[in-house]
Amino acid sequence: MSFALPDGLPPGRFLSRGPARVWVSDEFPQNVQRLWPRLLGDQRKHGLVPLLCWPDAMGRPVSLELVEAVRLEEVLAADFAEYRRRRLPFWTDPSPAPAPEGIEPWPHDPGPPFEQWPGLAPQMPATSAGPTPEEAAASLLAWLIETGQFGLDECRLVLVPAHRGSDALALIGWSAEAPLPLLCALLRSWEDRFGAHAVAVFGSELHVSVTRPPVEAHHANLLALEHVLSTADNIVDDPPTPFPEYATDLAGRASWSFWWD
């Protein structure tokens, strides 16, 4: 079943994704920076979540029941215990790992400053000084366009019928190596705690705008650990940014990027 579309969209068409239908533009919308804030602002009225996505990256939808079944704290606690078990020998050995000739060795990573799962980062309150969701998303879009991110021009505007923006990746069946039920459970939690919104997915990259990022060092450490446990390769393995450096950079940051091989 098709749905009513907002005005001012570029040419596009409806596509079926499992039991749901989504609307997809025919080309990358050149006016996306002007269009996006209005679509995001009208999301509650129309029930449509805007997303930039490669058309061929949409696959079989993941049931929201699988997302709802993820007991986030329990899963992350178990994942951290296993992650720490595997990584502890590297964190406690400051000698650089061997590197090929001509390649700088990776910097030593002391790992997170936690021996046990410390719990989720607390919800950040909204302030008048913070960006609105529309402003945060528009700023991220401007950065993606201005920096000429590879593959962005192959994206299409997708409108996904969803009750909340964090469910869009599950409903389009984003086909990356990311653990989709866990990732969508994290996105739901980040949406509630930090005003996070998935803006673009292309290749195996995910770009998220944030309206209420943590600013205190301890809170940034907690959030950085959640990012690590998302399994994203740009944070964990390719090469691993030392945890203190990643957490420091995360404080006050209004956009997050992840990618998986």
pLDDT tens for the chain, 261 residues long, are: 578 888 889 999 998 876 678 999 999 998 898 899 899 888 888 899 999 999 888 988 999 999 999 999 999 999 999 999 999 998 898 876 666 677 777 788 899 999 999 999 999 998 877 888 889 999 999 999 999 898 999 999 999 999 899 999 999 999 778 899 999 999 999 999 999 999 999 988 999 999 999 999 999 999 999 999 999 988 866 556 899 999 999 999 999 999 987
Report how far residue 179's alpha carbon sits from residue 186's, in angstroms, rounded to the nearest whole number.
Answer: 11
pLDDT of 10 reads 93
Report how far residue 236's alpha carbon sits from residue 245's, in angstroms, rounded to the nearest whole number.
Answer: 13
pLDDT of 176 reads 79
Cβ neighbours of residue 110 under 8 Å, at least 6 residues apart? 91, 242, 243, 244
Tell me which DSSP letter residue 155 carries: -
Report how far residue 141's alpha carbon sits from residue 154's, in angstroms, rounded to the nearest whole number.
Answer: 14
What is the value of pTM for the model shown?
Answer: 0.92
pLDDT of 119 reads 97
Angle of CA points 256, 258, 261, to nearest 5°: 170
Task: Sort residue 173 into left (φ over 0), alpha (ψ -120 to 50) or beta.
Answer: left
Report how far residue 226's alpha carbon sits from residue 222's, in angstroms, rounded to the nearest whole number.
Answer: 7
Cβ neighbours of residue 148 under 8 Å, at least 6 residues apart? none
Cβ neighbours of residue 101 under 8 Å, at least 6 residues apart? none
Q: How far is CA 132 from CA 1, 6, 10, 90, 196, in A?
A: 32, 21, 25, 41, 11
Residue 127 identity (one-letter amino acid):
T
pLDDT of 182 reads 96
The answer to whether the peptide bond before residue 94 is cis (omega within 30 degrees of 0) is: no
pLDDT of 198 reads 95
Closest CA to 240 of 105, 100, 78: 105
H helices within 13-63, ranges in order? 32-41, 43-46
3-state class (DSSP) for residue 15: strand
pLDDT of 129 reads 78
For residues 33 and 142, is the Cβ–Cβ distance under 8 A?
yes
